[in-house]
Structures are given as C-alpha cells and as structure tokens.
C-alpha cells in the first residue's frame, strides 16, 4: 500500500434485486432478515449495508462462497449493477449517484475490469483486443497499438500480438484480458474471479504474475475470489462476505490469528499457517544497542542484566548494522576498545518482515535467532524457533 488515504470508500451500500426494492429496503432497515424480506416481497437482498475502504495501491480481496454478494459488490463499484442505497466514493466522487455519461467516463479512464471468462473478442487479434479500451476512448491507431504492444510485453505475450485468442491457452487468454485492463492506465482494476476457470497450476502462475505486476505498477485492485488459499496468498487485506454482509476485514495474518467468528475460523482451519504468517507479524521486540552511544562495556552490562545471548546494533535511524555476543564484547574490553563497531558481527541470520515463516525455516538449522527487518532495513525484532512453533500450532 502506497497511500493512507482511501482510493475507494463504500458507505452503507445496499443492493436489493426485485420489483419492489423500496418496500424491501424499508423492511431491511426495520431489521428484518434476508429470508423474511424474500418471503414478504419476493425481493432478494444482495448487499446488506456494506461499508469498507480500499487504500490506494492496495490489493484488496473480497471473498466468500457462491451467493455471498461478492460479485454484486464489485459490479456496484463500476455501476454495472446500480445500488439500491448507499455511497461509493472513488477519489471523493460518489459514483453511486453520478449520471450515466459521467459513469462511462469513469469506466473508460479510472476503472478497468477483468472478467472470469476472459471476455475476449474471438475475431480480433490479441493486439486488437488489448487496444479495445483505447479505441473506445478515441486514441489514435498508432498510439493505441504502441501502448498495446508495450503492455503485451509487460505480461510476456508480445510474440502473440497478431494471433487470434483461440490460438492461446486459457492462462494466456487471461493474460490478454489483464493486458487489456492495464493498457487503459486506469488507476483501479476490478477482477471478478479472473483465475477460477484455469487449471490449478496455471492459476498459481497467474497469481504469481499478478503479484509481480502489482509490485511494479502499484494499482488499486479489488479481486473477487471464493478460494481462501488464493485470498490469503495475494491479498494485502481481505473482506470475507456471507449473505450480503461483511463478516470480517483484515490482513491474512489477522484472519488466521484473530478470527472474528466461527465462520472465519472454519474457513481458515485447514490453512498452512507457516505459508501465510509473516516473520514481521510474530517478531518480538528486544533490547538494542545504538551505534556511537554504547561502549562494549555498557553493552556487556546490558546483555548480562537482560540475560541475552546476543544483542543487535542499530544506527541512529534504527537500521540494523550488526550483532554482538558476550565473547566478542569480552574480547573488546580485554583489548581496551571503546569502539562497538570493531567487534560487531555481520554474519548472522536476518529476514525481511514480509517473508513467510515457511521461508525462514532453513535459518534455524543451526539453532540461531533470526533478526527481522523491514524493507528499509530497520530492525523490527527477533524470531526464534519456539516463536514459529507457537504460531503455527496456535489453534484459535
């Protein structure tokens, strides 16, 4: 995520299907159940007072079983489905209430969509399919072809530019669909179960491809899925829906370690926690030494007082620069040195906060503690083997 200000803000969104939506809405606001509303009005409650925010640059997953309301939600955002009540703000503009002309402009310039079944024109070449959004926008032929080719290069399909979609595999066709959405340079991508029609191996490859592209492009993405494994793999945050309601919103780690209900707990019961939980989420804070402020003698006193086997050294900005042990500190004191940097060790186990616990298993082969740092090398804490075992065996 690149910006704390929400890119999309949904407030009290309600969608009711049927011929008497206002009568059904009145019953809903009186607290009547979905089943009661259906029986009384023959109207179906699709979205039930949903409020959530999606940050700029965030890959936000909405997941749930069939009929949960997730696809209705994403189609309300670009007004393929018109909400019954509520607000949907994109860059502070309430798209739930703009006229159709303005909504078409928003779809052309701000919001692109990738569909489950590819949605490609079979009679158009791959390049022509990718160009389509630019053609509708009125971009000239030379410019749109250049943009289409550069986008196909981005998704690894430049060599298929002049082929028809039927010549491509399912995974390649979905890449074309993704390229078509990316070619418009829209800030927001809506992806409605885009990989669910693919074979499992191709699906994993497309998930990896999406993560690679997102790391490079920093789009705001709302991704619809019914697969908890997929949601946990790709989502910065996840909203779990049931019967039109949001049951819980949180990071993958939060959903696993702090399930809000038995429904969430059941969803995550069989998840390999070591693949989802990140080193940063279980890192324990510990006493550090600051380079230039602590002498070897002071460092040793702190280590003995806190019963530590080693201590980590950070600079004035909190970046990890080294580690010291009792042995190295005793040696420095014996030699009369006041320079902590002269005895700092550089060869120690270190991991990024965003790496999965499974990804650091190999660092424990020698029984060492792992230092955890963020993307700027700032020290976040330590993780020991016992911390990992506790985390992956902790059944809520």
DSSP 199-237: -HHHHHHHHHHHHHHHHHH--EEEEEES-HHHHHHH-SE
Superfamily of structural domain 280-393: CBS-domain (3.10.580.10)
The Cα 261–Cα 122 span in angstroms is: 45
- The pLDDT of residue 394 is 56
The residue assigned the tokens 């940050």 is: 55
Pick out the chain residues at pLDDT < 70. Answer: 1-4, 118, 365-367, 394-396
The residue ranges of every structural domain in the chain are: 6-110+186-271, 280-393
Alpha-carbon distance 353 to 14, whole Å? Answer: 38
Q: What is the pLDDT of residue 246?
A: 97
3-state class (DSSP) for residue 256: helix
Residue 39 burial (CB count, 10 A)? 10
Strands 320-325 and 59-63: unpaired
Residue 89, sorted as left (phi over 0), alpha (psi -120 to 50) or beta, turns out to be: beta
pLDDT in the model for residue 159: 93
pLDDT at residue 360 in the model: 86
Measured between alpha carbons, how far is residue 87 from residues 65, 95, 305 in Å? 25, 7, 57
Q: What does the block give as tokens for 19?
A: 């011929």
- Quick one: fold of 6-110+186-271? Rossmann fold (3.40.50)
Matching fold, domains 6-110+186-271 and 280-393: no
What is the number of other CB atoms lying within 10 angstroms of the CB of residue 238? Answer: 25
């Amino acid at each position: 995520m690149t910006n704390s200000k929400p890119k999309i803000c949904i407030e009290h969104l309600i969608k009711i299907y049927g011929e008497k939506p206002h009568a059904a809405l009145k019953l809903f606001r009186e607290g009547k159940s979905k089943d009661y509303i259906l029986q009384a009005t023959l109207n179906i409650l699709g979205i039930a007072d949903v409020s959530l925010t999606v940050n700029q640059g965030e890959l936000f997953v909405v997941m749930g079983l069939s009929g949960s309301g997730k696809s209705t939600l994403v189609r309300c955002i670009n007004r393929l489905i018109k909400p019954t009540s509520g607000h949907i703000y994109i860059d502070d503009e309430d798209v739930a209430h703009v006229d159709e002309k303005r909504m078409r402009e928003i779809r052309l310039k701000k919001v692109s969509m990738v569909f489950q079944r590819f949605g490609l024109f079979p009679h158009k070449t791959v390049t022509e399919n990718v160009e389509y959004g630019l053609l509708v926008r009125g971009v000239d032929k030379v410019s749109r072809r250049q943009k289409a080719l550069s986008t196909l290069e981005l998704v690894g399909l430049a060599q298929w530019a002049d082929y028809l979609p039927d010549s491509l595999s399912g995974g390649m066709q979905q890449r074309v669909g993704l390229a078509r959405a990316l070619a418009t340079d829209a800030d927001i991508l809506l992806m409605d179960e885009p990989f669910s029609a693919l074979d499992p191996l191709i699906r994993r490859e497309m998930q990896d491809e999406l993560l690679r592209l997102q790391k490079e492009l920093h789009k705001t993405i709302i991704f619809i899925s019914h697969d908890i494994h997929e949601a946990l793999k790709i989502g910065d945050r996840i909203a779990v829906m049931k019967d039109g309601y949001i049951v819980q919103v949180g990071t993958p780690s939060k959903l696993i370690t702090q399930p809000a209900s038995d429904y969430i707990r059941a969803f995550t019961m069989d998840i390999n926690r070591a693949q989802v939980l990140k080193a940063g989420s279980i890192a324990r804070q510990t006493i550090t030494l600051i380079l230039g402020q602590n002498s070897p003698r002071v460092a040793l006193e702190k280590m003995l007082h806190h019963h530590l086997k080693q201590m980590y050294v950070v600079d004035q900005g909190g970046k990890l620069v080294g580690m010291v042990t009792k042995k190295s500190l005793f040696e420095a004191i014996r030699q009369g040195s006041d320079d902590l940097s002269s005895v700092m060790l550089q060869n120690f186990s270190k991991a990024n906060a965003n790496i999965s616990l499974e990804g650091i298993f190999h660092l424990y082969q020698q029984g060492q503690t792992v230092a955890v740092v963020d993307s700027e090398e700032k020290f976040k804490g330590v993780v020991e083997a016992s911390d990992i075992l506790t985390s992956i065996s902790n059944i809520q």
